[in-house]
Structure 1
Protein backbone atom coordinates (compact mmCIF):
# COMPACT_ATOMS: atom_id res chain seq x y z
CA UNK A 1 0.00 0.00 0.00
CA UNK A 2 1.23 3.47 -0.93
CA UNK A 3 -0.50 6.73 -0.07
CA UNK A 4 -0.23 9.53 -2.61
CA UNK A 5 -0.30 13.05 -1.19
CA UNK A 6 -1.21 15.81 -3.62
CA UNK A 7 -0.08 19.23 -2.51
CA UNK A 8 2.51 17.23 -0.66
CA UNK A 9 4.77 20.10 0.34
CA UNK A 10 1.92 22.34 1.47
CA UNK A 11 0.97 22.95 5.08
CA UNK A 12 -1.19 19.89 5.67
CA UNK A 13 0.45 17.63 3.08
CA UNK A 14 3.90 17.65 4.61
CA UNK A 15 2.54 17.27 8.14
CA UNK A 16 0.53 14.27 6.96
CA UNK A 17 3.54 12.77 5.18
CA UNK A 18 5.54 12.91 8.40
CA UNK A 19 2.78 11.19 10.37
CA UNK A 20 2.49 8.42 7.79
CA UNK A 21 6.26 7.94 7.56
CA UNK A 22 6.53 7.70 11.35
CA UNK A 23 3.90 4.96 11.26
CA UNK A 24 5.82 3.08 8.53
CA UNK A 25 3.41 3.71 5.66
CA UNK A 26 4.75 4.14 2.14
CA UNK A 27 4.28 7.73 0.98
CA UNK A 28 4.61 9.39 -2.42
CA UNK A 29 4.48 13.18 -2.60
CA UNK A 30 3.07 14.93 -5.66
CA UNK A 31 4.21 18.50 -6.29
CA UNK A 32 4.48 20.85 -9.25
CA UNK A 33 8.28 20.89 -8.95
CA UNK A 34 8.61 17.17 -8.27
CA UNK A 35 10.78 17.67 -5.21
CA UNK A 36 10.23 17.03 -1.51
CA UNK A 37 12.36 17.11 1.64
CA UNK A 38 14.11 13.97 2.83
CA UNK A 39 13.19 11.20 3.34
CA UNK A 40 10.25 11.49 0.95
CA UNK A 41 10.03 10.46 -2.68
CA UNK A 42 8.34 12.98 -4.98
CA UNK A 43 6.89 13.13 -8.48
CA UNK A 44 5.95 16.03 -10.72
CA UNK A 45 2.21 16.67 -10.62
CA UNK A 46 0.24 19.73 -11.67
CA UNK A 47 -3.55 19.96 -11.65
CA UNK A 48 -3.41 22.32 -14.64
CA UNK A 49 -1.27 19.91 -16.68
CA UNK A 50 -3.14 16.67 -17.23
CA UNK A 51 -0.09 15.09 -18.85
CA UNK A 52 1.37 14.77 -15.33
CA UNK A 53 -1.54 12.69 -14.01
CA UNK A 54 0.11 9.38 -14.96
CA UNK A 55 3.37 10.26 -13.19
CA UNK A 56 2.50 9.00 -9.70
CA UNK A 57 1.39 5.62 -10.99
CA UNK A 58 4.50 5.23 -13.12
CA UNK A 59 6.59 5.96 -10.03
CA UNK A 60 4.69 3.54 -7.79
CA UNK A 61 2.27 0.88 -8.99
CA UNK A 62 0.94 0.23 -5.47
CA UNK A 63 -0.90 3.51 -4.81
CA UNK A 64 -4.27 2.67 -3.33
CA UNK A 65 -5.15 5.79 -1.32
CA UNK A 66 -4.95 9.45 -2.26
CA UNK A 67 -5.01 12.67 -0.26
CA UNK A 68 -6.59 15.38 -2.38
CA UNK A 69 -5.76 19.06 -2.07
CA UNK A 70 -7.76 20.93 -4.70
CA UNK A 71 -6.29 23.63 -6.93
CA UNK A 72 -7.25 27.22 -6.08
CA UNK A 73 -9.60 27.71 -9.02
CA UNK A 74 -13.34 28.28 -9.25
CA UNK A 75 -14.10 24.94 -10.95
CA UNK A 76 -11.62 22.41 -9.50
CA UNK A 77 -13.72 19.42 -10.58
CA UNK A 78 -12.78 20.14 -14.21
CA UNK A 79 -9.20 19.12 -13.42
CA UNK A 80 -9.82 16.76 -10.53
CA UNK A 81 -12.41 14.49 -12.16
CA UNK A 82 -10.05 13.17 -14.86
CA UNK A 83 -7.41 12.40 -12.24
CA UNK A 84 -9.86 10.72 -9.87
CA UNK A 85 -11.20 8.60 -12.73
CA UNK A 86 -7.67 7.63 -13.78
CA UNK A 87 -6.66 6.84 -10.21
CA UNK A 88 -9.56 4.41 -9.86
CA UNK A 89 -8.44 2.55 -12.99
CA UNK A 90 -4.97 2.32 -11.43
CA UNK A 91 -6.28 0.64 -8.28
CA UNK A 92 -6.95 3.53 -5.91
CA UNK A 93 -9.63 2.53 -3.41
CA UNK A 94 -9.95 5.55 -1.12
CA UNK A 95 -9.77 9.33 -1.41
CA UNK A 96 -9.50 11.86 1.40
CA UNK A 97 -10.45 15.33 0.21
CA UNK A 98 -9.85 18.60 2.05
CA UNK A 99 -12.44 21.33 1.49
CA UNK A 100 -13.70 23.94 3.99
CA UNK A 101 -16.32 24.36 6.69
CA UNK A 102 -18.68 26.31 4.44
CA UNK A 103 -18.20 24.03 1.39
CA UNK A 104 -21.40 22.00 1.37
CA UNK A 105 -21.69 18.87 -0.78
CA UNK A 106 -22.94 19.89 -4.22
CA UNK A 107 -22.20 23.55 -3.59
CA UNK A 108 -19.81 25.69 -5.60
CA UNK A 109 -16.10 24.98 -5.97
CA UNK A 110 -15.04 22.20 -3.57
CA UNK A 111 -18.60 21.06 -3.01
CA UNK A 112 -18.75 19.69 -6.55
CA UNK A 113 -15.70 17.50 -5.93
CA UNK A 114 -17.24 16.25 -2.68
CA UNK A 115 -20.44 15.41 -4.54
CA UNK A 116 -18.55 13.56 -7.27
CA UNK A 117 -16.77 11.28 -4.80
CA UNK A 118 -20.13 10.36 -3.28
CA UNK A 119 -21.76 9.80 -6.67
CA UNK A 120 -19.14 7.40 -8.02
CA UNK A 121 -19.33 5.20 -4.94
CA UNK A 122 -15.66 5.08 -3.94
CA UNK A 123 -14.44 4.94 -0.35
CA UNK A 124 -13.87 8.50 0.78
CA UNK A 125 -13.71 11.04 3.56
CA UNK A 126 -14.10 14.80 3.24
CA UNK A 127 -12.37 16.98 5.82
CA UNK A 128 -13.80 20.47 6.20
CA UNK A 129 -11.38 22.50 8.33
CA UNK A 130 -12.04 25.97 9.62
CA UNK A 131 -9.48 28.78 9.29
CA UNK A 132 -5.88 27.78 10.01
CA UNK A 133 -3.90 29.02 12.99
CA UNK A 134 -0.86 28.95 10.69
CA UNK A 135 -2.41 31.65 8.49
CA UNK A 136 -1.02 34.12 11.00
CA UNK A 137 2.41 32.87 9.96
CA UNK A 138 1.60 33.17 6.27
CA UNK A 139 0.47 36.76 6.81
CA UNK A 140 3.36 37.55 9.16
CA UNK A 141 4.39 40.73 7.34
CA UNK A 142 1.35 42.70 8.48
CA UNK A 143 1.95 41.81 12.13
CA UNK A 144 5.73 42.19 12.02
CA UNK A 145 5.91 45.43 10.03
CA UNK A 146 2.57 47.14 10.72
CA UNK A 147 1.64 45.70 14.13
CA UNK A 148 -1.80 44.82 12.87
CA UNK A 149 -4.12 42.06 11.72
CA UNK A 150 -6.67 43.07 9.09
CA UNK A 151 -9.96 41.32 8.39
CA UNK A 152 -13.67 41.65 7.63
CA UNK A 153 -14.60 39.31 10.48
CA UNK A 154 -15.80 42.10 12.83
CA UNK A 155 -16.47 40.42 16.20
CA UNK A 156 -17.15 36.95 14.81
CA UNK A 157 -15.41 34.04 16.50
CA UNK A 158 -13.57 31.11 14.94
CA UNK A 159 -12.53 27.71 16.38
CA UNK A 160 -9.08 28.16 14.81
CA UNK A 161 -7.48 24.87 13.77
CA UNK A 162 -3.83 23.80 13.65
CA UNK A 163 -2.28 22.12 10.63
CA UNK A 164 -1.09 19.19 12.74
CA UNK A 165 -4.68 18.50 13.78
CA UNK A 166 -5.85 18.47 10.17
CA UNK A 167 -3.00 16.11 9.31
CA UNK A 168 -4.02 13.80 12.15
CA UNK A 169 -7.63 13.74 10.93
CA UNK A 170 -6.40 12.92 7.43
CA UNK A 171 -4.10 10.20 8.75
CA UNK A 172 -6.98 8.59 10.63
CA UNK A 173 -9.27 8.71 7.58
CA UNK A 174 -6.64 7.26 5.25
CA UNK A 175 -5.50 4.34 7.39
CA UNK A 176 -8.77 3.37 9.09
CA UNK A 177 -9.71 -0.23 8.38
CA UNK A 178 -13.25 0.86 7.51
CA UNK A 179 -13.59 3.89 5.27
CA UNK A 180 -15.49 6.80 6.87
CA UNK A 181 -17.57 7.57 3.74
CA UNK A 182 -18.74 10.86 5.24
CA UNK A 183 -17.59 14.41 5.85
CA UNK A 184 -16.27 15.98 9.04
CA UNK A 185 -15.71 19.50 10.26
CA UNK A 186 -12.20 19.89 11.65
CA UNK A 187 -12.02 22.60 14.31
CA UNK A 188 -9.79 23.73 17.14
CA UNK A 189 -10.46 23.57 20.89
CA UNK A 190 -10.91 27.33 21.40
CA UNK A 191 -13.02 30.13 19.93
CA UNK A 192 -11.26 33.36 18.98
CA UNK A 193 -12.35 36.70 17.59
CA UNK A 194 -9.64 38.60 15.74
CA UNK A 195 -9.72 41.27 18.46
CA UNK A 196 -8.90 38.50 20.94
CA UNK A 197 -6.19 37.17 18.63
CA UNK A 198 -4.61 40.63 18.48
CA UNK A 199 -4.69 40.82 22.29
CA UNK A 200 -2.91 37.45 22.52
CA UNK A 201 -0.21 38.64 20.11
CA UNK A 202 0.14 41.84 22.14
CA UNK A 203 0.70 39.93 25.36
CA UNK A 204 3.10 37.36 23.94
CA UNK A 205 5.13 39.65 21.68
CA UNK A 206 5.28 42.44 24.22
CA UNK A 207 4.10 45.18 21.86
CA UNK A 208 0.71 46.47 20.79
CA UNK A 209 -0.92 44.50 17.96
CA UNK A 210 -4.31 45.70 16.74
CA UNK A 211 -7.10 44.22 14.66
CA UNK A 212 -8.02 46.68 11.92
CA UNK A 213 -11.53 46.17 10.60
CA UNK A 214 -11.49 46.61 6.82
CA UNK A 215 -14.07 46.56 4.03
CA UNK A 216 -14.86 43.68 1.70
CA UNK A 217 -13.23 45.58 -1.16
CA UNK A 218 -10.04 46.09 0.81
CA UNK A 219 -9.88 42.41 1.71
CA UNK A 220 -10.40 41.38 -1.90
CA UNK A 221 -7.51 43.63 -2.93
CA UNK A 222 -5.26 41.96 -0.35
CA UNK A 223 -6.19 38.43 -1.42
CA UNK A 224 -5.68 39.34 -5.09
CA UNK A 225 -2.00 39.86 -4.34
CA UNK A 226 -1.50 36.07 -4.51
CA UNK A 227 -4.80 34.57 -5.69
CA UNK A 228 -6.82 34.71 -8.93
CA UNK A 229 -9.29 37.60 -8.85
CA UNK A 230 -12.48 35.53 -8.78
CA UNK A 231 -11.09 33.26 -6.07
CA UNK A 232 -10.03 36.29 -4.03
CA UNK A 233 -13.60 37.60 -4.12
CA UNK A 234 -14.94 34.26 -2.96
CA UNK A 235 -12.41 33.96 -0.13
CA UNK A 236 -13.26 37.44 1.11
CA UNK A 237 -16.95 36.55 1.06
CA UNK A 238 -16.20 33.39 3.01
CA UNK A 239 -14.25 35.35 5.60
CA UNK A 240 -17.16 37.77 5.93
CA UNK A 241 -19.45 34.93 7.04
CA UNK A 242 -17.38 34.73 10.23
CA UNK A 243 -18.92 38.04 11.27
CA UNK A 244 -22.35 36.42 11.01
CA UNK A 245 -21.37 33.53 13.29
CA UNK A 246 -20.98 30.87 10.59
CA UNK A 247 -17.82 29.36 12.07
CA UNK A 248 -18.89 29.59 15.71
CA UNK A 249 -22.09 27.70 14.83
CA UNK A 250 -20.05 24.59 14.01
CA UNK A 251 -18.85 24.17 17.59
CA UNK A 252 -20.66 21.25 19.18
CA UNK A 253 -21.74 19.74 15.86
CA UNK A 254 -21.70 15.93 16.17
CA UNK A 255 -19.60 15.56 13.02
CA UNK A 256 -16.89 17.93 14.22
CA UNK A 257 -13.41 16.58 14.93
CA UNK A 258 -11.88 18.78 17.63
CA UNK A 259 -8.12 19.21 17.54
CA UNK A 260 -5.61 19.95 20.28
CA UNK A 261 -3.41 22.73 18.90
CA UNK A 262 -3.93 26.06 20.68
CA UNK A 263 -3.29 29.50 19.25
CA UNK A 264 -1.25 30.82 22.16
CA UNK A 265 1.09 27.82 21.99
CA UNK A 266 1.60 28.45 18.28
CA UNK A 267 2.42 32.12 18.85
CA UNK A 268 4.85 31.30 21.68
CA UNK A 269 6.64 28.71 19.55
CA UNK A 270 6.97 30.99 16.52
CA UNK A 271 7.57 34.46 17.96
CA UNK A 272 10.47 35.06 15.58
CA UNK A 273 8.02 35.18 12.65
CA UNK A 274 6.57 38.44 13.92
CA UNK A 275 9.73 39.98 15.37
CA UNK A 276 11.90 42.40 13.43
CA UNK A 277 15.56 41.44 13.27
Structure 2
Protein backbone atom coordinates (compact mmCIF):
# COMPACT_ATOMS: atom_id res chain seq x y z
CA UNK A 1 0.00 0.00 0.00
CA UNK A 2 2.90 2.36 0.72
CA UNK A 3 4.32 2.02 -2.79
CA UNK A 4 0.93 2.67 -4.41
CA UNK A 5 0.25 5.70 -2.19
CA UNK A 6 3.67 7.17 -2.96
CA UNK A 7 3.16 6.69 -6.70
CA UNK A 8 -0.44 7.94 -6.74
CA UNK A 9 -0.57 10.60 -4.03
CA UNK A 10 3.04 11.27 -2.99
CA UNK A 11 2.26 10.26 0.60
CA UNK A 12 3.43 7.74 3.18
CA UNK A 13 0.69 7.29 5.76
CA UNK A 14 1.72 5.90 9.14
CA UNK A 15 1.05 6.04 12.85
CA UNK A 16 4.79 6.02 13.58
CA UNK A 17 5.02 9.73 14.36
CA UNK A 18 8.70 10.55 14.80
CA UNK A 19 9.59 6.98 15.77
CA UNK A 20 12.67 5.53 14.12
CA UNK A 21 12.96 2.20 12.32
CA UNK A 22 16.05 0.19 11.39
CA UNK A 23 14.76 -0.50 7.86
CA UNK A 24 16.46 -3.58 6.39
CA UNK A 25 16.85 -4.73 2.81
CA UNK A 26 15.23 -8.07 1.91
CA UNK A 27 18.51 -9.28 0.37
CA UNK A 28 20.23 -8.82 3.74
CA UNK A 29 17.47 -10.86 5.40
CA UNK A 30 17.92 -13.59 2.80
CA UNK A 31 21.71 -13.59 3.24
CA UNK A 32 21.40 -14.00 7.01
CA UNK A 33 18.82 -16.78 6.54
CA UNK A 34 21.11 -18.63 4.14
CA UNK A 35 24.01 -18.43 6.59
CA UNK A 36 21.82 -19.44 9.53
CA UNK A 37 20.55 -22.49 7.65
CA UNK A 38 23.88 -23.55 6.14
CA UNK A 39 26.34 -22.81 8.94
CA UNK A 40 26.93 -25.23 11.79
CA UNK A 41 26.06 -24.95 14.52
CA UNK A 42 22.91 -22.88 14.28
CA UNK A 43 22.90 -19.81 16.51
CA UNK A 44 21.53 -20.61 19.95
CA UNK A 45 19.61 -17.33 20.07
CA UNK A 46 17.30 -15.15 18.02
CA UNK A 47 18.92 -13.20 15.20
CA UNK A 48 17.56 -9.67 15.43
CA UNK A 49 18.03 -8.04 12.04
CA UNK A 50 18.14 -4.32 11.31
CA UNK A 51 19.56 -2.04 8.71
CA UNK A 52 22.49 0.24 9.53
CA UNK A 53 20.48 3.32 10.51
CA UNK A 54 17.24 4.14 12.29
CA UNK A 55 15.09 6.41 10.13
CA UNK A 56 11.77 8.17 10.56
CA UNK A 57 9.09 8.08 7.90
CA UNK A 58 9.90 11.76 7.34
CA UNK A 59 13.47 10.66 6.51
CA UNK A 60 12.12 8.08 4.07
CA UNK A 61 9.87 10.67 2.40
CA UNK A 62 12.81 13.08 2.05
CA UNK A 63 14.99 10.40 0.45
CA UNK A 64 12.23 9.40 -1.99
CA UNK A 65 11.67 13.05 -2.91
CA UNK A 66 15.37 13.53 -3.60
CA UNK A 67 15.65 10.36 -5.69
CA UNK A 68 12.49 10.73 -7.75
CA UNK A 69 12.27 14.49 -8.06
CA UNK A 70 8.60 14.16 -7.05
CA UNK A 71 7.39 15.44 -3.69
CA UNK A 72 6.74 12.69 -1.15
CA UNK A 73 5.58 13.51 2.35
CA UNK A 74 4.87 11.56 5.48
CA UNK A 75 1.22 11.83 6.49
CA UNK A 76 1.07 11.00 10.21
CA UNK A 77 -2.22 9.64 11.54
CA UNK A 78 -3.41 8.11 14.80
CA UNK A 79 -3.39 4.36 15.39
CA UNK A 80 -7.18 4.22 14.97
CA UNK A 81 -7.08 6.28 11.77
CA UNK A 82 -4.44 3.96 10.33
CA UNK A 83 -6.41 0.86 11.32
CA UNK A 84 -9.53 2.23 9.60
CA UNK A 85 -7.52 3.19 6.49
CA UNK A 86 -5.89 -0.24 6.25
CA UNK A 87 -9.16 -2.05 6.91
CA UNK A 88 -10.41 -0.83 3.52
CA UNK A 89 -7.89 -3.18 1.89
CA UNK A 90 -7.48 -6.07 4.34
CA UNK A 91 -9.21 -7.89 7.20
CA UNK A 92 -9.78 -5.67 10.23
CA UNK A 93 -7.78 -7.99 12.49
CA UNK A 94 -4.68 -7.63 10.30
CA UNK A 95 -5.22 -3.87 9.95
CA UNK A 96 -5.37 -3.65 13.75
CA UNK A 97 -2.15 -5.64 14.09
CA UNK A 98 -0.33 -3.36 11.63
CA UNK A 99 -1.68 -0.19 13.26
CA UNK A 100 -0.52 -1.48 16.65
CA UNK A 101 2.94 -2.15 15.22
CA UNK A 102 3.12 1.45 13.98
CA UNK A 103 2.03 2.64 17.41
CA UNK A 104 4.84 0.62 18.98
CA UNK A 105 7.33 2.13 16.51
CA UNK A 106 6.14 5.59 17.48
CA UNK A 107 7.15 4.75 21.03
CA UNK A 108 10.66 3.51 20.23
CA UNK A 109 10.19 -0.18 19.47
CA UNK A 110 12.13 -0.02 16.19
CA UNK A 111 14.95 2.35 17.03
CA UNK A 112 17.45 -0.25 18.28
CA UNK A 113 20.13 -1.23 15.74
CA UNK A 114 22.09 -4.48 15.63
CA UNK A 115 25.28 -5.68 13.94
CA UNK A 116 23.75 -9.07 13.12
CA UNK A 117 23.86 -8.77 9.33
CA UNK A 118 27.56 -7.94 9.29
CA UNK A 119 28.43 -10.41 12.04
CA UNK A 120 26.67 -13.30 10.27
CA UNK A 121 27.38 -12.49 6.60
CA UNK A 122 30.65 -10.58 6.81
CA UNK A 123 29.21 -7.55 4.99
CA UNK A 124 27.41 -4.50 6.35
CA UNK A 125 23.68 -4.15 5.74
CA UNK A 126 22.52 -2.00 2.86
CA UNK A 127 21.21 1.42 3.85
CA UNK A 128 17.81 2.67 2.72
CA UNK A 129 19.15 5.29 0.30
CA UNK A 130 21.26 2.75 -1.59
CA UNK A 131 18.35 0.29 -1.70
CA UNK A 132 16.00 3.01 -3.00
CA UNK A 133 18.56 4.21 -5.57
CA UNK A 134 18.93 0.66 -6.93
CA UNK A 135 15.19 0.06 -7.00
CA UNK A 136 14.48 3.38 -8.69
CA UNK A 137 17.25 2.81 -11.26
CA UNK A 138 15.94 -0.66 -12.11
CA UNK A 139 12.19 0.07 -12.04
CA UNK A 140 11.51 3.64 -13.09
CA UNK A 141 9.47 4.12 -16.27
CA UNK A 142 11.60 4.68 -19.36
CA UNK A 143 10.82 7.24 -22.05
CA UNK A 144 9.01 5.74 -24.97
CA UNK A 145 8.23 2.58 -23.05
| TM-score between the two structures when normalised by the length of structure 2 | 0.82
Offset, 1:169: 1.0
Q: Deviations over 1:157-194 (max 9, x none)?
A: 11100101111111111011212232111000111101
Please say if 1:241 is aligned against 2:100.
Answer: no
Contact 1:157/1:192 (CA < 8 Å) preserved in 2?
yes
State whether structure 2 residue 92 is matched by structure 1 residue 229: yes
Quote the offset at 1:251 in angstroms: 2.0
What's 1:269 paired with? 134
Equivalent in the alignment of 1:181: 44
Would the aligned equivalents of 1:143 and 1:274 in 2 still touch at CA under 8 Å?
A: no
Q: Does 1:251 align with 2:79?
A: no
Provide the residue aligned with 1:143 in structure 2: 6
- Taking the aligned partners of 2:67 and 2:128, their CA distance within structure 1 comes to 11
Task: State how far apart, in whole Å, the 1-side matches of 2:127 and 2:51 are.
Answer: 7
Between the two proteins, the alignment pairs up a number of residues equal to 136
- Mapped partners of 1:232, 1:208: distance in 2: 27
Unmatched tracts of structure 1, length 5 or more: 1-137
Instruction: Give the 4+ runs in structure 1 shifted more than 4 A.
Output: 272-277
Q: 1:119-158, aligned counterparts within 5 Å?
A: 139-158=2-21
Match of 1:192 in 2: 55
Higher strand share: 1
Please give the per-residue CA displacement for 1:228-271, whole angstroms capped at 9, x wherever unaligned.
321220121011111111111x225xxx5145122111221222
Unaligned residue ranges in structure 2 (runs of 5+): 118-123
Task: Give TM-score scaled by structure 1 length.
Answer: 0.45
The answer for the alignment partner of 2:35 in structure 1 is 172
The Cα of 1:221 is off from its aligned counterpart by: 2.6
In the other structure, the counterpart of 1:44 is: none
Q: State the structure with bigger RCO (CA 8 A, min sep 6), 1 or 2.
A: 2
